[in-house]
Amino acid sequence: MRLKYVIKFVADMDRAIAFYERKLSLPLRFRSPYWSEFDTGETTLALHPATPEHAAGSVQIGFNVEDLDAFYARRHELEISFDLPPAIRFGTRLATFHDCEGAECRISS
């Protein structure tokens, strides 16, 4: 299990990019009005515009496992309730669940 990315939902993309780039000195990998990424080593910090489902300031965590199907098969043993089973979404195969505090997590392999 590796932490692959963190998505921060933002109200103002330009202001958020300026904050992370200028104040925290994170290297900007690329930017767009809909998705921007910072290089932070093994884990990517991504910015995405806020939506009614994802309020500004909320965060989504993305994990990576070697075998998504094997991890999903253990869901009852691990007591993890998935919102979405493994399927192709956004160009990659992933599944979605919420952690014990209600934070949305995505997992891929």
Each residue of 23-49: pLDDT tens digit?
999 999 999 999 999 999 999 999 999
Tell me whether the CATH fold assigned to 1-51 matches the one assigned to 65-109: no
Specify the amino acid at residue 38: F
Spell out the domain ranges in the chain. Answer: 1-51, 65-109
What is the chain's mean pLDDT, rounded? 95
CATH architecture of 1-51: Roll (3.10)
How large is the average pLDDT for residues 74-100? 94
Query: What was the pLDDT predicted at 21?
Result: 96
**pLDDT at site 10:** 98
* Residues whose CB falls within 8 Å of the CB of residue 84, separated by 6 or more in sequence, listed in order: 95, 96
pTM of the model: 0.86
Q: Which fold has domain 65-109?
A: 3.30.720
